[in-house]
Each structure stands twice: as C-alpha cells, then as structure tokens.
Amino acid sequence: MMKLVGWITLLCWAGLATAQLEDKCICAPTDEHPEIPVDPKSACPKGDALAAQIEIENYGDYLVATSLNLRLSYLPTVDQQYQHLPLYIVADTVRIDAPISRDNQKIIVNARKIHVSKHGLIDDLGKWTFYAEDIEIHPKSAIKNLITSSKSKQDSNQEMLGLHQLLDFVEFKAVTTNTFDTRTGECMGLDKQHSNYDLDSLSPTFAWLNKQGELAQDSNLVWRSRLIQQYRGDIFEGKLLHKETISETYLKTVRTRLIADLEVKMSDIDSLLHSQRNSLVQRNLENLNILFQATEQLISGNFSEKIRETPLIQELELFRAARQVHLFLQDIHDSQSIKKKIQRNLKSFFPKENDFQFLRVFIQSNLGKNYALNHDLNLLAVKWMRIIDKAEELYQVLNIQFEYELELLLDNLRAEKSQSKVYQNRLVEWKSSNQLKLPGTASNTQSLIKLPTVPAQLFRNGRFDQRIWISDQRFNDFAHVRVHDIVVNIAGIDDKIVREHLKIVPLTSIMYDIDENDKELRYTSLPTSYPLADNEKPVTPFTLWRFLPDQHLTDILVQFESLEMIIEFQMTGIHVPGLTGEIKSDDCQMFKDNPFEFTDCKFGGESPFHNVYDIVSVMHLKEINHLFAEKYKAQQAGEQAGVATYIETDFVTTGDGECVDMTDIGGINANITDQVKLVTTLNTPLMYFPPELEGFMELQYELVDSVLTKKQQIENCDTGAVIDKDPKYEPVTGMIKITVPLSMISGDVTDEGKVILDLSEAAIEADLSYTNIYGKPKLMAEFKYHFMNAFTSAELATIQYRPDYDNLSKFTAPKRFLFQTVCRGCQKGKDDEGYLITLFETHSDNGVQISFPKDPESQELSHVLPSDVYTAGVYLGAHITFCDIYLESFQNSLIKERYRVTLTNSFNDAKPHQRELAILYDKDFCIDFGEDLLVDDDGQLSIPQQSFYFYSPTRGARSWMDNTDSEPKAGSKIAKLFRGFQDAFDQCNVCTSWWHWLVSLGIGCAIADAFNCLFMYVSGNLHTSAWVDATLAIYGEQLSNVTPDPECLSFVFPPMDLTPTVDIKLGPNGGVDDRSTRDKAIRRITKGSQEVLRLKHIASPSISLFAVVNLLFPGMKVIDAKEFYSPGTILMYGNIVKDYEPMPNLPDHCLNTDQKYVGF
C-alpha cells in the first residue's frame, strides 16, 4: 500500500471578483457578459463560476481578442479568410485550460498571468509568443517548454490597442460589478481596517495596465486607468434630473455667481461679529472667529491647515468633505498624479444636508443660549444662516460639476485611443439603461396643503423649511410626479405680494419620487427655484422645500406671530389608481396586545434600522405628557426638576406717553402712563405633534395663579422723579402655545455638550383674558422675552447625556442625536397614536452618520410598539447588533477573521421577499487531498459556507448548520483518498481539532499531523467499496435566548455551544477497520466543529445601551424595562414611569461584575 503524500490547502469559494486577505487564496476575476456556466461548485484556482463569450475583432491587418480572464478553450474560431492574420490576445489572466489548436499563423499573448491546467496543451507551440509577468504550470501538464518573457518596452501598436480594449472592459466591469471583497461590506468598522486597494480584486489588473502604459510612454492609458481605478461607485444618491441641460459653461456660470454673492455677504458677518465682541463670552467669541474663517474657506475652497486642524473644525464632517470635493476637481485633471487611493463610494465624500445643519448648530450654540433676545446677535445669526443656505447650494453645483467633468474626461480619453466597439457598446448600453426615462403620457394634477400655525419668525429669520414625504396621502394616485408651479396663499397678505416676493427652492441633496409599482426612486437635481425661469425644469415634490421671503415680505411679516399658509402644487404625473406611497406596515397592529407576536410580525426575518440609525428611542406622546406633569409637580413642590414654571415680566406701558405741561392749572410738567405686568405660574405643558406641520412640536401651557398688576405712573418731566399711583391686582386666565421646529433641538454629545435648544424660530402665542388692544402686544412681547430666557435656562440644562459610569461600550455611547415625530391623524385626543422619536449616532466604528429625518413611514416608525402593553421602546440598529456584538463574539475563536456579516434571504418563511443579516464563514471549507492520489484534479471535499448560518430570530441568537445535501459525490472522493491510506501515520501530536487545520492551515500543527488529526491511527485493511457510497454530513442548531437584567438596564446572551451531529455512512462492505476509522473521524470532526461554532458569552455593560432614553429626563427614572427581544436588532420594551422618581443607584452586581463585555 502507498503512503499518503500530498498537500492540504484552504481554497476560496468561486465567487465574482473577490479578493482575499491571503495572496495564495485570490480568485481570478471573472467575466459575466454574457454568462456561461462552468461549474458553480468549483473552487479556485481550479475553475471559474462564470466565463465570458470572447469576441475577436478584425482591424484589417490583424485580429485582437481581449478579456479580463480569458480561457483559451472559449476563444471562437476564425473564418478561413482571416486565418492568415496575426491574432493578438491581451488579458489580465490567460488560461490554457484544455488542448488548444489555432489556425492562425501567428498568435501573440500579452497577459499579467498565464495559468496552465493539468489538461492544458498547446498544439504547434512554435506559432505562439507569450509575454507575462507570472506563469503557473500544473506539474502534470504536458507543456514543459512554454517560455514567457516580461516586456522591457512596449512598442507594439497592436498590443497597445488590445490594452486599451482591455481597459474598456475593466471600466465596464468597475461600474457594473462590485469587484471589492464583500466580506466586510455590512460592517463599516471592518471595512476601515483594510485599504480599498487591497480589497479590490481589480487592483493587480490596474497595476499591470499602468505598468504597460508606462513602458509604452502612453500617458493616456495611465491617466484613464488611474481615473477608473480611483473614482468608483455612484456620485449621486440617485439619477441626475435634467442632465441634458448641463454644460460646462452653465455650471461655471452658476458657481461664479454663487461665490461672488457669498463673498459680499461675508463682509456683513465680519462687521456684525466685530461689533458684538463685547456681548459674547470669550471662548464663544474665539469659536465664532474660527467658524467665520472656516465659512470663508468653505466658499473659496482654499482650506488652510491651521483651520482644518482646529479641534472645533475637526468635529464637523462638512469641512473634510468640502475640501475633498475641491481636491477631486483638481486631481482628475492632473495627468501626472501618482495617487493610488481608491475612493470606493464617491457619494459618501460629498457634503450632505446634515453636514450643513451641524455647522448651523455649532454657530448658534456659540452665540449664547439667549442670543435671539439680542437684536444684533439674532441679526448676525440670520445673515450667517442665509450664507450657509447658499453654500449648501454651491456644493450641490460642485458635486454635479465633478460628475460632469469626470465623465467628459473619460469619454474623451476613451475615444482618442480605443477602437473597440464591443465593450464600449456595452458601456453605452449600461449608461443608457441608467438614464432617466419618464413615461410619455402625463396628466395634470394638483394638491393643496394647509399649514395652520407656521411660526412667522422662521420667515423673518430668512427661511421656512417644510418636508413632504412620499407617504404623504395628499399625492395619491400619481407616479413620476413633477412640480410645474407652486401657488402660496398667506392669510392676511395679498396673493400678488406673496407671488412676487416669495421664492421657493427644493433642496437638492436628495429628491424622491415614486414609480408605478409603489417603489421609491431617488434623484439629484440642479438648483431650481419657483416661479420657474426659462431654463429651469420641474422637479419631484417629495423632498425638503425652502420658502425664502425677500426683505419686502419680511417687513410685512413683522406683525404676525404665526401664519396660516395654503400651498398648491400644480403638477403632472402618470395616473395610477390606488397608488399611495405608504408602507403597508399596519398589519402587525392586530398583535399590539402581544409583544412577542408583534415583534415577530414587525421585525422578525428582517434587519431593523440596518445602516440607517444606530439607536432609536421611541416614547408614546401621552406618556411623555404624563412624565412632564410629574416633573412639573416636583418642581412646584420645591424640587429642582429642571423646568420653567414661574414667569414675572417687567412693567410695560399700554399706550404711547408724552409730557403734558399742567403748571398753568397748578400741576406739573408730567408724563402719565398706564402700565401693566404679568406674574404667572405655568402649568404642565401639553406636548403635541401637529400632523400637518412635519418636523414641529407644540407645547401648550395653561396659566395658573396668574395676576395682572395695573398701575398708573407719573413722571416729572422736569426733575425725572417717578410716582406709582393706585396699583390694582386682577386675576388673569389663558393659554400659552409655543410651536418649535425640532431641527432646533439637536446637538453633539461631548464633554462640552454642544446641545442646542434654540427658540429663536419658535412662535409663542397667547390667548389671555386681558384684551387691551394697546397693552396686550407689548405685554406679550415682554412675556416672550422672559419665557424664552427662563425656558432655555432651565430646559437646556436638562437635555444632555452624561452618565456617571465609565464602563460604556463605544457602540452604545451617543455621539449625536436628532428628534423626529409621528402623529398621523392626531386630533389632540386621548386616543392619539403619537410618538417622540430620538435618533442617535454612536461612537461605534460600525456606526452610521446620522442623517436628517427620513420618511418615518418608510422606516416603519409610525407603529413600532405593542401599544396596548408598552409605551416606550429602544432599538439597537441591526448593523450594531451583528458587527459590534455577535461578530465580536466569534472573533475570539481560533479562526479569527474567517467570518463575514452578510444580507441574505429572510429566514422567516412568511417574508420571502425580505432580507436579513446573518454571519457566515468567509469561504467554503475546501480540502485538497493532493492530486497525485486522485484519478482527476477534482479532489476537494468541501463544506459550503451556505451550510452554516448564525442569525437572530425574534427571541435570541441561533446557530444552524446543515451540509447534508452539499456534496453528493463525497463517498467516491473519500474512497479515492483511502486507496492510498493503508500505511498510517504516528499518533497525532499537537493538532486537537479537525476544524483547526481545516480553516486555519498552519496554526499549531504540521500538515502530516493534520491528516492524522482527522482520521487518527488506522490499522488493518480498509475496503474501498465501503467508502464509494459513503456520505459525510454535519448538521445541528442551537438557540441562545436573550436574557434581560432590568435592574441594570442591560442584556446577556448566555454562552452557546453548537454540538453538531456528524454522520459518516459507509457502504455495505465495510469491515471493522472501516467502522473504527469512521468513528474516530466522527469524534474528531464533532470536537473541532463544536469548538469553532460555539457562541462566546455576550453581555452589554450596565446602563450603556438604554441610558440613552434619559436624554430628555436625566437624573430621573424614565422607563421600567420589561422585555428584550433580538429580531435582527436588540430591542427593549418598557413603560414610562407613572411617578417622578430620581434615577436609582444601580445595584452592586451591575457595576462590579466579571462578565465579558463586547465592544472594548
């Protein structure tokens, strides 16, 4: 009998253009247009899952064939009339994969790599010339004398043409296929650990093309190759509207006009900032000066290193992104640039709406908490905000300019050198399929939107922003809607004045639309304003609209506190009866009295908030109002609960006084005025979210124990002496209503707590029993001043996140937060289903930068609680759950970095069209037992990655494995193996786990030991026939239920061991030795797989996750945590407490624990 001599290697699964972390396991890039199946189960380097139909192009004097991964057996034959022409083959990898015979008299191959398989053979090798940097010949190949050489100079015009054609295909591949290793795709933290250059399977191809271009001194090839390699992915969030109207002249004209306008306005800010330097705290003044310089540089595009390295500016993503835009615009036109960094997701580099909003927040927070009460500081803020609005428009133009110039440059470079029509036509077809094509027949439609209580201060401060969602029912029954005109009516103002002095601009960061199938579409657009000018075209209504009054209209609005607006959108669209745009998500309401059924229905088999929000906190409106009531009661009882309850105004005159000389009748020269002041206690506010005014919150206060003090004041105009006469005290009743934009309640969670509660754009209205037509407006202005002062002083101090614990995980520590509301159909009644939603960005490496509110319906935030049972919930995004918690638990095992998080088809049979996250092994488990012992070169036993899943059903985490149907010929392969396995090895020395060597070759045991670990010592004779029909199956599953610890506001997953069933079934002829060998193999496989598949202990640090619910109510117990679930995310339900209760100290077992916490 023979002694088994061979080698073992871990092979990567055949997949499209995937790059691995180890060079020896890099699968060659594959072609896929059109698709030809080869062997979907094969593992590289044996074969490819897909190959391309190669086309040979005729250029008169010669023929050229190009492809990325060219298998010579797929090269078509040439008509007899062209066989005398030389054939030039240019490819990244050329595979001699079968006996090859060509009728051409001369064949020249230029490739980065040539691979010769076991059965590869070249007939009449003398006709062939090979150039390659690398060659790999199978030891059993009959080809022994294939000689290749490297090019020292590239002077073949034919080969250069082929190289340009190859680049055509590489470009096509780069824009139509994800060529990056997707193992890290769902976990951004892992993605950041590797460079895009290393992750891109096309990197070796680009490097080779660059080298060939340099050898030929062809700067065109090098330049174009660099641009295609570096600038990858979509530039916009969606298709670009009105692309046909864009020209270089138009873009530069718009850009020049914007910059000139902004530079003039910055001088106003400089003057105002200088004049107010004595009104500001020194540190705030220093920050504002830095922000002023940064704003100037934002406009000019010249960013100084001094400003960029300022800690304040480094906290703002805007300036990094803005600088990148200007660097991109410079770099693409630099043919000599040697930059190699791949920008994998271009749209992530351009400034977004929320980037500009956070700049606004930083400016306002440094102006001081009551800046709105100072006329000049408020004017400074208004002018500065208008500049940022225009800067936002500028960068949208720059974004479009970059896309236009890059595409134009690539088209010119391509047309100059490449003559191939094959891949160019494919690229044109692909671009055409991505062009915006609206159906031809459109109908007129219109929609009326009534906004009853718009704060007039928004207009006086320069703008009013209003969001309109796709799910808004005012746009029923029409798809592909475009706005042609907007008519605005403001009660009390002539329509003609409004038309002439109000400009309406749709913000262009992202626009939305809906198609005939109720699917959301995304667009980007050039800046447009209504009424439309001659060269402007209509856009979709589903976006953020900005209403901009000029100074004339602003002056008129001074008399208003709030406005009633009616907006009429005049549109065209495709009539689709029954189209609503709503997410049909209310089916789960039938389970609102059953938390498990509700959770399973709502979230099970999905991945809630995956790559959308890190943490979401939801609290029921009526319970928040109850919590406010308890807070106010505590304040009125003498506790410092942090609310404003007592307001006392100064005296105001009820009319215009003047000096009257009464000396001729024995009096004095006196100014006699009637004066009044208000002393009141504010009762508990009623919070409400007006459904017709998206993004706003109302607080309504009842006045209690309120007294109006009236007096007459006599001032001696000659001496200045003042006498108060006949003070009278009258009770007063009434209501105070404040309407606040939620965008003004946001901020960063830092040591300084850059949290802003800005009432400068709020409307404060009063309905009082005091009705003096002269005195009431003045009294209300005075009341508003004191109310804002008291409210911001008290309430601002309570919006913060400063837990007193230091064992916080990064993935649950808030970094930034925003508020959103849902109150569809609310009527200020007890049955209102309204929610306050807090959206968090955390410090997690896998965290998602928070963006300004998305449609709550599309994110299914309208009904996220089993509302008959619970009134609050906290949700950890699925990407945090899987990447920071579950994956981290696996990473401590022996096979570190051999897992990946992926989106896969839902495991919930009731949701066949949904996708959810799961953890898989990174590649198939492939064992190559050595081809010397096998009849053919198909010598792998593999356990496909799809046979193992770790996922998260509603109650906990589940590991599942089953490969029983994955390898139907396993028995035949095992039989071939054992033909040469009669001479056994010694006892296994150091390797204790079959999975150990199977997945991580070379860690802890030698190759010879590895075989022995699997089968141990074999004595006697094995019967080959017993193994021919053998089967190898590994299967099993295990569930670990999430276990809450409500006292600690934390959760735990107990350790989980997956002990799979391992079954090797022998044929009928097996003897004692066969059965003994089988039993030993089963024991080894079981032990090894159990070690690797088990889930380590998972726990969250106490207080870390759900302390965020205390953002609005710090120091106070807010939620009684009741139930935890894990349907893709980890979520907690609970109830808002019924009584005011200070946050209790955590029990000792929460803070003093030896639990292993993930995330450190």
Identify whether the C-beta of residue 741 lies closer than 8 Å to the C-beta of residue 694: no
Identify whether the C-beta of residue 48 lies closer than 8 Å to the C-beta of residue 73: no
State how far the Cα of 894 lies from the Cα of 380, in Å rounded to an integer. 60
Kindly report the backbone phi and psi dihedral angles of residue 229, in degrees, each rounded to the nearest multiple of 5, phi listed first.
-70, -40
The tokens describing 155, both together, are: 């002077």
Kindly report the backbone phi and psi dihedral angles of residue 1002, in degrees, each rounded to the nearest multiple of 5, phi listed first.
90, 5
Identify whether the C-beta of residue 1136 lies closer than 8 Å to the C-beta of residue 871: yes
Helix H or strand E segment including 413:
helix 375-417
Distance of CA 465 to CAs 187, 248, 544, 742, 839, Å?
34, 31, 7, 11, 20
The tokens describing 971, both together, are: 């028995």
How many Cβ atoms from other residues are within 10 Å of residue 333's Cβ?
A: 11
How many Cβ atoms from other residues are within 10 Å of residue 933's Cβ?
A: 17
The three state secondary structure string of 21-45 is CCHHHCCCCCCCCCEEECCCCCECC
Helix H or strand E segment including 188:
helix 188-191
Helices (H), 434-568: 456-460, 495-501, 551-557
| Greatest CA separation for the chain | 141
Pairing mode of beta strands 696-716, 734-741: antiparallel
State how far the Cα of 474 lies from the Cα of 466, in Å rounded to an integer. 15
Identify whether the C-beta of residue 97 lies closer than 8 Å to the C-beta of residue 117: yes
E strands of 895-955, at which residues? 899-905, 915-921, 925-928, 940-943, 948-951
Could you state, in chain order, the average pLDDT of each consecutive group of 10 residues for the chain (1160 residues)?
A: 22 22 32 35 37 75 88 87 92 88 91 88 88 86 78 80 88 78 74 78 90 90 92 83 80 85 84 85 88 92 92 90 92 85 83 86 79 81 87 89 90 77 71 69 89 85 83 83 93 93 83 85 85 83 89 88 91 88 72 92 90 88 77 72 74 81 78 86 82 83 87 85 86 85 67 57 78 78 78 49 54 78 78 82 86 77 87 88 80 57 87 86 47 34 62 82 58 46 31 32 33 39 63 72 70 68 74 75 67 53 45 59 85 76 62 41
Cis status of the peptide bond prior to 866, with omega within 30 of 0: no
Dihedral sign for Cα atoms in the order 317, 323, 325, 327:
negative
How many Cβ atoms from other residues are within 10 Å of residue 519's Cβ?
A: 11
pLDDT of residue 926: 41
The one-letter amino acid code at 1123 reads E
Task: Specify the DSSP class assigned to residue 1094.
Answer: P
Residue in the block written with tokens 């209509």: 538
Angle at 113 between CA 110 and CA 114, to 5 degrees: 85
Angle at 200 between CA 198 and CA 205, to 5 degrees: 100
Distance of CA 772 to CAs 653, 673, 674, 710, Å?
11, 14, 11, 12
Identify whether the C-beta of residue 179 lies closer than 8 Å to the C-beta of residue 29: yes
Identify whether the C-beta of residue 1006 lies closer than 8 Å to the C-beta of residue 970: no
Least Cα distance to 1015 among 983, 1051, 1039, 1050 occurs for: 983
pLDDT of residue 1144: 59
- 518 three-class SS: coil
Pairing mode of beta strands 1061-1065, 1050-1053: unpaired
Q: Which residues contact 550 (CB under 8 A, 6 or more apart)?
A: 501, 502, 503
Q: How is 938-993 classified by DSSP, letter by letter?
A: --EEEE-GGGEEEE--TTEEEEEEE-TTS-TTHHHHHHHHHHT--BPP----S---
Q: In the chain, what is the straight-line distance between the N-terminal and C-terminal CA atoms, in Å?
A: 55
For residue 514, the cross-strand partners are: 520
- pTM for the full predicted model: 0.80
State how far the Cα of 1080 lies from the Cα of 918, in Å rounded to an integer. 32
The tokens describing 1120, both together, are: 């009684």
Q: For the chain, how big is the Rg over CA atoms in Å?
A: 36
pLDDT of residue 1103: 38
The one-letter amino acid code at 828 reads K
Identify whether the C-beta of residue 52 lies closer than 8 Å to the C-beta of residue 33: yes
State how far the Cα of 96 lies from the Cα of 102, in Å rounded to an integer. 13
Pairing mode of beta strands 520-524, 239-240: parallel
State how far the Cα of 80 lies from the Cα of 97, in Å rounded to an integer. 24
Give the alpha-carbon dihedral of 661, 662, 667, 672, to 10 degrees. -70
The one-letter amino acid code at 540 reads T
Kindly report the backbone phi and psi dihedral angles of residue 231, in degrees, each rounded to the nearest multiple of 5, phi listed first.
-105, 95
Q: Could you give the count of Cα atoms lying within 13 Å of 55 in the half-sphere of its Cβ? A: 14
Q: How is 209-269 classified by DSSP, letter by letter?
A: HHHHHHHTT-HHHHHHHHHHHHB-S-SSSSEETTGGG--HHHHHHHHHHHHHHHHHHHHHH
The tokens describing 911, both together, are: 């949701």
Residue in the block written with tokens 């965008």: 743
By residue count, the chain amounts to 1160
Q: At what angle do helices 353-366 and 375-417 cross, to 10 degrees?
A: 150
Identify whether the C-beta of residue 1159 lies closer than 8 Å to the C-beta of residue 809: yes
pLDDT of residue 1146: 61
Residue in the block written with tokens 């009660």: 491
State how far the Cα of 213 lies from the Cα of 121, in Å rounded to an integer. 31
